[in-house]
Amino acid sequence: PQFRFDVSRSIYKGMLKFLSSYYGGSYAVQPLPVKNFRASLLEDASVRLSWSPVSDPLEPTADPQSYIVYTRVGDGGWDNGLAVRDTVTTLAIPSGELVSFKVVACNDGGISFPSEVLAAGKADGNKVLVVNNFTRVSGPAFFDTPSYAGFDGALDSGVPWGTEISFIGDDYEHRRDNPYSGNNAPGFGGSDYSFAGRTYEGNSFDYPAVHGRALLDLGYSFESCSAGAFAADPATDAAVIDLICGKQVSTITGTGEHGPRFAVFPEKLGKALRDAAGKGVSLIVSGADIATEGWDSVYPIADSTFTDYRLSVRNFNREVQGIKWISSRASRDGVVLPMTPGSPVQFWNERNSECYFVENPDGIRPMDNNGKLVYKYRSSNVGAAVQYQGPGYRAVTFGFPLETIKNPEDLKQVLSGALEFICSK
């Protein structure tokens, strides 16, 4: 997905500059999406929105001149937007309603792609800060040798940007020397076509609203921000941080010469979370690779910097979350069971039109006697969620993304259990 964007933007710039030169006029390149987006609840039932512009290092004319803020109430559609000049604005919101926001940057060249979607809601209970740490878009895992090459969707199918329309099936012919001999025997790179004519969902960048709806229904106020905004300014008066990690995992893109992208716990974010826990803020962390990141890997990355990073993630798992990794392939049927009597919970584990899917959730267990296993995967009996009593705070970690739970009532039930543990005395 990033390659598609980069190539498309490059072609667009080339066409724009050619037309500008041909007709002798000036030009301006459309801006890049904003970053460090934050939606903070204020005491007067309003929300303060803030963000940072992003400059294009290759094109000075792409700097934004203004912004449009779009608002969505509940499950309704987006409004026509509010034009603002500054990178900060305050909007009133109705009490008890889920309200979502997105921002686009504007200049004479047009408008940017939209920002991630944040949300906020005012209720009577404690406040939860939802931090969106799921920014990954990528192709599937791959392997590349002199004799064999291809994609390994069973290990990691990647994450499309929005709705994926180009996938028709998994590749099956990995032998480089196998030639094309016909449409039914296409040789190297051949794939099946079982998914032809269908689409499936990738990263919608709209998950704070999914968590927020459940939180509001449970009586909790919530606000949200991007992981970048939280890492840059971790100050919060929320009692709980709900960290959305989705399918975030260190990923090799292209030739890999620029290092891995989409780290789960980059240094600044890890420090901000550790500092927040040290100040008594409790944590809910969910994601498919929150432990794999430190104990295993999806992509073969071999350099000393990444080795040091993996060690820091492992220490964060142990010392802050109170967990230890067991397996990177803990379930294939997408069902978790509570350790106490209760109903099974299903999450999306196959391509579908509703939500991104998780082919390989993390298996985890408590690090010591301060932790307790609360969910396990049905197919393997491996741990799926752990409660941890830390020094002055509590943490609940899920080895699968909560937003992939199929039934909204199940999501509410799972979050209710986590918050009851965190907020009980």
Task: Please give the torsion angle defined by the CA atoms of residues 218, 219, 220 and 221, in that order, rounded to the nearest 10 degrees.
Answer: 130
List Cα–Cα distances, 110 to 25, 28, 51, 53, 275, in angstroms: 16, 8, 19, 15, 40
Residues 208 and 95 in one domain: no
- Residue 226: CATH number of its domain: 3.40.50
In a domain, 12, yes or no: no
In the predicted structure, residue 22 carries a pLDDT above the cut 90: yes
Residue 254 belongs to what domain range? 201-423
In a domain, 196, yes or no: no
In a domain, 215, yes or no: yes
Residues 270 and 416 in one domain: yes
Residues 93 and 242 in one domain: no
Residue 178, both tokens: 């196998």
Backbone angles phi, psi at 143, to 5 degrees: -135, 150
Residues 226 and 107 in one domain: no
In a domain, 286, yes or no: yes
In a domain, 86, yes or no: yes
Coil, helix or strand at residue 198: coil
Band of residue 238 on the pLDDT scale cut at 50, 70, 90: very high
In a domain, 176, yes or no: no
Residues 112 and 205 in one domain: no
Across all residues in the chain, what is the average pLDDT?
Answer: 96
Residues 205 and 73 in one domain: no
pTM above 0.85, yes or no: yes
Residues 100 and 205 in one domain: no
The arithmetic mean of pLDDT across residues 395-408, rounded, is 99
In the predicted structure, residue 301 carries a pLDDT above the cut 90: no
Residues 111 and 231 in one domain: no
In a domain, 134, yes or no: no
Residues 111 and 240 in one domain: no
The arithmetic mean of pLDDT across residues 329-337, rounded, is 96
In a domain, 65, yes or no: yes
Band of residue 299 on the pLDDT scale cut at 50, 70, 90: confident
- Residue 84: CATH number of its domain: 2.60.40.10
**Amino acid at the residue 235:** A
Q: Which residue, 117, 146, 171, sits at the end of a domain?
A: 117
pLDDT tens, residue by residue, 136-177: 999 999 999 999 999 999 999 999 999 999 999 999 999 999
Q: Which residue, 62, 87, 117, sits at the end of a domain?
A: 117
pLDDT value for 45? 84
Nearest to 292, CA basis, from 345, 210, 359, 348? 359
Coil, helix or strand at residue 187: coil
Q: Which residue, 87, 117, 147, sits at the end of a domain?
A: 117
CA 70 to chain centre: 21
pLDDT value for 36? 98
Q: Domain total for the chain?
A: 2
